[in-house]
A and B are shown apart, each in its own frame.
Chain A
């Protein structure tokens, strides 16, 4: 089902929707204030032409931003009440005003909320007060714009739901590593979660976990061709199929919509300022969170240690410089550890996988050798 249809179908039961980008917005806060938040990411499956986006963005913008503009601008009226974005990269920070230009003709334009999340490391600069100020201002703006109100109790309830969702994601990820469910299914579920009501998403994940609860095959057996995949987007289905064909098992991931998003949930509190300080401070390292850079290698090493992966595949999204500045260093360090690495580049012009099949096959041979 197209994301629009999913949102439309939900719209009957929900009063307010907010579309967020990029990946680590304050979802619990929006949910607690009566919004159904969606995360506008991983839009490859819905957007394959760029008729509107190409009028606003040059072709050397990454596919994420081009799809995002196309997606938002082709969203039917009245299904998105608000948009939220925070600072992540140089491309995305230009988007709110570009989107505003795209939506000029629309009668019911969503209100756009923006927030600066501090990118200075805590040990360098005290960012707590600044972040608290931004969270407080966001709450005030939402209250004023939509007549909603913040409640610590509801916020606690939302935290509990999102924690449950993240834990379920971890559970399913383990089931992929144990070969109980396919990575394709897991990837589908995480993508659906971006456009679903949190309650429905939890229900679906619980059902999958229950339906595939049989004992893992070869529980303690780590396959020789085991890999971790990394990138701002999950690999396209053709690549996942190829991995399966070559009997390469994905035993862990460093994908932005997956592990990087669900790896950490702060403790229970009714104070959103405290919560998001903890949330961003302890977030799984992502190249877009500039202050987490020092922890990135350690986090990846930890993943490799925990999964005993033999290989690491960088799924590079063309024009995503944030990832590309880190890849040479990470590749070097992983090779020093004896981990085989492969760097594939995915672009909008070539998502069929034709250009990397041979390399993938050779990599599979290497892993099995």
Chain B
């Protein structure tokens, strides 16, 4: 209920402020939105988040088709197709009546460089300036020179908004926003920590849907408060013995973006099998830096530097070795029995190293794993039976491993 209200208010406020003349920025998912809090009347919208919501509400394929009818290939990312379809049709069929038209587009190429191409479509069609936040990919821990390069671009973003909107950047408002976000992330990690309990206090589907306000309310007190309450309630439920899958037999890890069109169905069907996907690389990365799963601490000294250091907080900007390191930590800390690698046609950047990750997880960590085919927002590219055939095979693998261990113990005994 509280989550729905926050989301409704965020989109309502966005439309209302835009209507009243606020400067509107469309951003890619990992552009640090706290920067906009430094301005009195700048609002931001996240097309990826809107696309995920559209998929969750069941209008993904409809909006994708609109983009396809305008010549955009069905092989393109379904978020992009949903967003293009929605925009070309003036927001029709969108759960939020679309997004207010932007004055500025800010994409980045670390999470997904195709976002730059996607935003370029609007840049060309509507003649709106497009800022490309250029962030070097992380094969290893972020280098100081890369951090400085990112910092210089944050300064450029501030300058361009000042010059386009005529508003002055207020550093103190910005500091407050960064503190709010950091506090929110602190509570986010507390919320996720409920997964370590056996049985888990959460399912991954809870954490998937709870990511949404981080994208639409970044930098606000409301976000920090929401995550504080969420963590308190969840941990309270754990202490009272209330669990989403009480007879949890299989504790699974999910690797990739959520299949937004399948959350309810998948969750229910897994629960019937006493299986719980308790964590995801997609959600444990929030608030961390490359190769880690714990909160990256903000000491309050330099908020811009903190944002630059955590610019690569999501999984996609990380190389294989770093992803493996964080996955290994998650497996150990949460007692994971098996991994579902969701090979996602709409997100090559997330998916195209999963075959080697799967091999490493099974070979070196001994954790059973399977790969399933999904598309995060285009339900037409998803086949439930194929997916569950694999998931059930994974559960059998876990059983086989447990039986083998039990036999070994028995022999030793």
Contacts and interface: CB of A to CB of B under 8 A. Distances in A.
Interface of A: 55-58, 60-61, 65, 87, 89-91, 93-94, 96-98, 101, 114, 116, 118-121, 124-127, 130, 133, 287, 290-291, 293, 316, 318-319, 321-322, 324-329, 331-332
A228 B349 CA distance: 32
A347 to B, nearest CB: 10
B263 to A, nearest CB: 23
Contacts of B76: 321, 324-325
Given A58-B343, A97-B319, A133-B145, A124 B113 contact: no
B297 to A, nearest CB: 27
Interface string B118-131: 10110111000001
For the complex of A and B, the 6 pairs showing the least CB-CB separation, nearest first, are A328-B71, A325-B117, A90-B349, A97-B320, A120-B134, A116-B136
B124 A329 contact: yes
Interface centre among B71, B134, B153, B319 (most CB of A within 10 A): B134
Contacts of B71: 327-328, 331-332
Contact of A118 (B114, B117, B134, B137): B134
B152 interface: yes
Interface stretch (B11-19, B45-53, B352-360): B352-360
A324 B77 CA distance: 11
A324 B321 contact: no
A290 B72 contact: no
Contacts of B145: 130, 133
Nearest to B72: A328
8 contacts: A94-B349, A94-B353, A96-B319, A120-B153, A293-B123, A321-B76, A321-B77, A321-B348
Contact of B121 (A56, A119, A329): A329
A249 B116 CA distance: 34
Interface string B135-162: 0110100000110010011001000100
Contacts of B124: 293, 329
B152 A290 contact: no
Given A325-B121, A329-B121, A116 B137 contact: yes
A96 B353 CA distance: 10
Given A56-B356, A93-B349, 19 more contacts: A55-B355, A61-B348, A94-B319, A96-B139, A97-B353, A101-B359, A118-B134, A119-B132, A125-B153, A290-B116, A293-B124, A321-B76, A322-B117, A324-B76, A325-B114, A325-B117, A327-B73, A329-B121, A331-B71
A119 B320 contact: no
A308 to B, nearest CB: 26
Contacts of A89: 113-114
Nearest to A60: B345
Contacts of A55: 355
Taking each of A61, A93, A130, A331, which has the highest tally of chain B beta carbons within 10 Å of its own beta carbon? A93
Contacts of B125: 329
Given A125-B156, A331-B71, A98 B320 contact: yes
Nearest to B75: A319
B109 interface: yes
B351 interface: yes
Contact of B348 (A91, A130, A325): A91
Nearest to A114: B139
A20 to B, nearest CB: 17
Contacts of B75: 60, 318-319, 321, 324
B264 interface: no
A157 B88 CA distance: 52
Contacts of A318: 75
A20 B86 CA distance: 40
Contact of A130 (B73, B80, B149): B149
Contact of B352 (A91, A120, A133): A91
A323 to B, nearest CB: 9
B234 to A, nearest CB: 34
B353 A293 contact: no
Most A Cβ at <10 Å: residue of B73, B77, B120, B146: B73
Given A87-B136, A119-B109, A321-B76, A124 B349 contact: no
